[in-house]
Structure 1
């Protein structure tokens, strides 16, 4: 069944070609990428001569109520946000029966590409600083009752040491979640979404720390044995990854990130 679906998507999900004009305004420059339910284009705004990013719901998904709702949910989330490090949504439109929305173009380097293609490494201090910047964005979102739920290195852009967070396709707003749950489950669901974002921060930190790791053992060992880290960084990771008591708010995490940075600077 999965093979049939993949085959169907291969033939149906053909991106618009370079030079095509969407909504009478946006000329496609090239395809930036294709996600699980969207196709992303870099376009030239013919009215302003600015670069814009346009996301299209995959044609194979346009009959799926669930995927349409996800697409519309992402637009709704972006409309609630106003932050220089998060994409701005300009408009949504339909073209030839397909759904699109328009965002500003962020000319940054994808963190995943930096690591795998650029072979960039991050020491302990640099890794902690990235998580510190990410935490500011997570705190901004959580104060608006929004939970990203997909914090990963492909969704982080860096430009001139400034960090940007993208792809809100799996994000959730507390009000929308509450409407689907009984009163007794609302608090539990909110806590789980919060902890998931914290856990993802821990995964990102661990991933960055491993960019400087060179394996000397044939047998894989736990990260606590493979990585030489300051005790404060180990403590931070264990709480983010729920090995120890999980964090209850971003202020607690911020305090421990600062402590880890101070300990690392003192040691070096």
Structure 2
């Protein structure tokens, strides 16, 4: 660790102190507990004192609030959330600041984190179950892409499960396609959009592969490629190879949907 990184860590340790339980933010949100910390945010479970309902409030880490780039990232996340209107994604209520500290409030989605399901509950997903989870996720990704939003962080900690329903959270790294009149700037070329789309597709592939490995028990001391370790239907292998860019990558969610449908169809014949 470099000396500069060490100093930054020490600074963050003393500055990024979570807000105490019982504190009321913006005269409305009473802090109940800290439910998460990320590289640039602290997330609180709060009670809305007006509606008596639970809410989630995210705070930009105090150590980041004077960093223009970090503030812009936080504001971008707020902007993304404002555009969402999907029952399987958070609802933004308001963004606010207090004494130079930045916050936003959103809906509280109760569910089991997929990361905890895998590591703590040791839940397994067979090939069909894994493909069905991908199908749910693909629907959400398609919704985002049609709105010009690219999640860029499709990982197990950002997926919640409740009563067989799947929810997508944490848009902190999301990118947006800007308005048509700005489209010809260097940041908004067609290649850049395709790259952002394919990053989400690649993340879906990694996630699918991860789920498929939950039922795998190693019999070899030597690690082998997943194509040799996992016994999968050829349609699933084809889908994975394209998602992971081993073969010609996908350019649109409709292409993935077609191959995913074929993979699920193959599962019906097996079962």
Q: What's the CA shift string for 1:225-267, capped at 9, x where partnerless?
A: 1111110000000000000111121111111111111112211
Q: Taking structure 1 as the reference length, what is the TM-score of the superposition?
A: 0.96
Shift of 1:177: 11
Shift of 1:7: 1.3
Alignment correspondent of 2:159:
156
**Matching of residue 115 in structure 1 with residue 118 in structure 2:** yes
CA distance in 2, matches of 1:170, 1:264: 34
Question: Please, which runs of 5 or more residues in structure 1 have no aligned partner?
Answer: none
Q: Which runs of 4+ in 1 moved over 3 A?
A: 176-185
Alignment partner of 1:240 out of 227, 243, 249: 243
Alignment correspondent of 1:255:
258
Q: Structure 2 matches for 1:8-157, cutoff 5 A?
A: 8-157=11-160
Question: SS of 1:14's equivalent?
Answer: coil
Distance 1:246 1:40, change over 3 A: same
CA distance in 1, matches of 2:107, 2:144: 19
CA contact (8 A) 1:177 1:186 kept: no
CA contact (8 A) 2:182 2:188 kept: no
Shift of 1:176: 7.0
Shift of 1:5: 1.1
Question: SS of 2:30's equivalent?
Answer: strand
CA contact (8 A) 1:107 1:159 kept: yes
CA contact (8 A) 1:178 1:186 kept: no
Shift of 1:165: 0.4
Aligned-pair RMSD on alpha carbons?
Answer: 1.6
CA contact (8 A) 1:26 1:43 kept: yes
Alignment partner of 2:171 out of 168, 188, 204: 168
Alignment partner of 1:231 out of 231, 234, 237: 234
Alignment: residue pair count? 268
Question: SS of 1:175's equivalent?
Answer: coil
Q: Taking structure 2 as the reference length, what is the TM-score of the superposition?
A: 0.95
CA distance in 1, matches of 2:157, 2:198: 20
**Matching of residue 215 in structure 1 with residue 213 in structure 2:** no
Distance 1:179 1:60, change over 3 A: farther
Question: Please, which runs of 5 or more residues in structure 2 have no aligned partner?
Answer: none
**Matching of residue 188 in structure 1 with residue 191 in structure 2:** yes
CA contact (8 A) 1:236 1:253 kept: yes
Moved more, 47-56 or 170-179: 170-179
CA distance in 2, matches of 1:188, 1:195: 10
Moved more, 90-99 or 68-77: 90-99
Q: What's the CA shift string for 1:47-68, capped at 9, x where partnerless?
A: 0000000000000000100000
